[in-house]
Amino acid sequence: MIEQRKSARAFPHIILWLAILIILFPIYFVFVASTRTNADILSAPMPIYPGSHLVENYGRALSEGAKNLGASAMTMMKNSFIMAMGIAVGKIVVSLLAAFAIVFFNFPGRKFCFWAIFITLMLPVEVRIMPTYKVISDLGMLNSYAGLILPMIVSATAVFLFRQFFLSVPREIAEASQIDGASSMQFFRSILVPMTRTPIAAMFVIQFIYGWNQYLWPLLITTKQEYYTLLIGINRMLSGADVLIEWQIVMATVLLALIPPVIVVVVMQKQFIAGMTDTEK
Amino acid sequence: MAKQYEFPSKGLPYLLVTPQMVIVFLFFFWPSAQAIWQSFFLQDPFGGRVIFVGFENYAKLFNDPDYWASFRVSVLFASAITISSMAVSLFLAIQTNKKIRFDSFYKTMMIWPYAVATMVAGVLWLFMFNPNVGVIAWLLKYKLGIEWNHLLKADQAFLLLTIASSWKQIAYNFVFFLAGLQSVPLPLVEAAAIDGAGPIKRFWTIIFPMLSPTTFYLLVMNLVYGFFETFPIVHQVTAGGPGKATQILVYKVWRDGVINLDLGGSSAQSVILMIMVIILTVVQFRFIERKVTY
């Protein structure tokens, strides 16, 4: 590089370590709280090193949850997982089919379909809460996995990513497969989808995290404990008066909600970064 | 350009787009149309009577000081998040891009908060600043003499929301800034260095202009995040309070619709928000189009 002075070389390391400490700061204290008794936490300031109740707290969170919640973290994790997987897989399948039609076929209404999908690109559910709620309630999908998943599949990002990728696939391949007697669906299944595995992996990471972290929508449509996701459970545990909160259980649940998507991002970092920066182009 | 090969089938493409179109219509166009429709009516929340009132719901909003206050705090909030998280992530991305050792470790450590739910980010910082049990609240009170209570003090509530929202958003901006920095051609930077430009001059005259597409993209995305995607933090941390001091627009839509059951008013607000998002989408898309041709 250009600068050679020693102090200049140490500078980025100092800054980045400082940033890492700030980023990890709240996580560390949440972890400490999840290993202590509620009395420890309430006797502010809480001790700054971990206690000995880790197994007990996580065990209770997973098996029964905090008092008055009526849902265990195990159940809520299952619900968060079903929702995240449903959204990720559902979105990918539906978007692959739509992008395939838009790119590889010429049909009246193609432009219309493209624009109808495009307009939903950045529209979050937050801005159309009430009417979407009404649709789900009319369809009888309150307190159901279908109700949690289906409205979240609307979004153009995946269609766009796949469309871009499909546009870069040489058409000779499609033509050749046709000449060899393969149907268009055979081409899709055995040639196009395998070629698309990198963008699919990228989309999977992004959509899994998106689904796992949904908040407003499950907040609206889940009133029964057996459909609570982790985030809804955390909200319910915190909504009582301060003195009634079992902080140690809440904090254990917070970490259980935080760790799975973080693992996905860290393990699939390459695909994740590629997916994010590709949708920009 | 030769005509691209296309499959000859007639019916199949319709079949293929059907799932996507059904979902888009059922959960986007239909609810949006409903929102527009309902925004012209005054509704009895318990079913029954509906009265057509024209633009009255909108007029009521525009004459409501609460709505303008909510608008103002949303703009301030989105700007605060955008500026702070973009500045910090650009700075960190520059440090990571200096060809230093362990840069992939640093990268991972900067990126993982992307996976943390907005709501969880709110809970993390809520726990730090809780007036009774929070570590930072305790430090502020007993070491610095600052009484922290975001449930009573509006500026503290705003600050806490900004910290939690920016903390989470830094990862997203970092990914894009780092990718942008890595695409700046090194020979250009080195040539400037040989010509005697110092690091700060090199940054402002070469690197920053070359980053402008990334910066613009992130500007729009951060505003969208600040305006529309911070509902979970506001809902969990301040519930729009104290009073209505941190009631951002998406929180108000939710409160008026779900809690106050004012469907007409909530729908009118939804329509305004949708128009805002669509404008931002078009701006973003225009810009992306231009970049593609360039």
Domain spans of chain B, in order of start:
51-179+211-293
Mean pLDDT, residues A80-99: 94
CATH at residue A194: 1.10.3720.10
Residue A9 is assigned to a structural domain of this protein: no
User: What integer pLDDT is reported at residue A213 of this predicted model?
Assistant: 93
Q: Report the distance separating Cα B266 and Cα B287, nearest Å.
A: 32
Which residue shows structure tokens 């649940």? A253
ipTM of the complex: 0.88
User: What integer pLDDT is reported at residue B293 of this predicted model?
Assistant: 38
If you average pLDDT over every residue of chain A, what do you get? 86
Residue A11 is assigned to a structural domain of this protein: no
Range of the domain at A121: 34-280
Given a cut of 60, whether residue A1 has pLDDT beyond it is no
Residues of chain B with pLDDT under 70: 1-3, 44-48, 288-294
Chosen for mutation from A87, A128, A236, A242 (greatest number of chain B CBs closer than 10 Å) is A128
Q: Report the distance separating Cα A116 and Cα A135, nearest Å.
A: 19
pLDDT band at A122 (very low <50, low <70, confident <90, very high): low
For A144-176, write each residue's pLDDT tens digit: 999 999 988 887 888 888 988 898 888 888 888
For B208-236, write each residue's pLDDT tens digit: 888 888 898 899 889 989 998 899 999 99
Chosen for mutation from B1, B9, B17 (greatest number of chain A CBs closer than 10 Å) is B17
Given a cut of 50, whether residue A72 has pLDDT beyond it is yes
For A241-272, write each residue's pLDDT tens digit: 766 788 889 999 999 999 999 999 999 988 88
Is the omega angle on the peptide bond into residue A108 within 30 degrees of 0, that is, cis?
Answer: no
User: What integer pLDDT is reported at residue A5 of this predicted model?
Assistant: 63
Residue A24 is assigned to a structural domain of this protein: no
Given a cut of 80, whether residue A24 has pLDDT beyond it is yes
Residue A152 is assigned to a structural domain of this protein: yes
Q: Report the distance separating Cα A27 and Cα A20, nearest Å.
A: 11
Domain count, chain A: 1
Q: What H or E segment, with its residue span, contains residue B194?
A: helix B186-194
User: What integer pLDDT is reported at residue A106 of this predicted model?
Assistant: 87
User: What integer pLDDT is reported at residue B3 of this predicted model?
Assistant: 56
User: What integer pLDDT is reported at residue B206 of this predicted model?
Assistant: 86
Query: Is A151:A217 a contact under the CB 8 Å cutoff?
Result: yes
CB contact under 8 A, B4 and A46: no
Residue A28 is assigned to a structural domain of this protein: no
Chain B (168-227) residues lying within 8 Å, Cβ to Cβ, of chain A = 170, 172, 175-176, 179, 189-190, 193, 199, 214, 217, 224
Residues from chain A contacting residue B199 (CB–CB below 8 Å)? 2-3
Q: Report the distance separating Cα B67 and Cα B73, nearest Å.
A: 10
Given a cut of 80, whether residue A280 has pLDDT beyond it is no
Mean pLDDT, residues A201-214: 91
% of chain A residues with pLDDT over 90: 33
CATH fold of B51-179+211-293 = MetI-like fold (1.10.3720)
User: What integer pLDDT is reported at residue A100 of this predicted model?
Assistant: 92
Three-class SS state of B277: helix
Which residue shows structure tokens 């009246």? A108
Residues from chain B contacting residue A185 (CB–CB below 8 Å)? 12
Mean pLDDT, residues A61-88: 89
User: What integer pLDDT is reported at residue A279 of this predicted model?
Assistant: 61
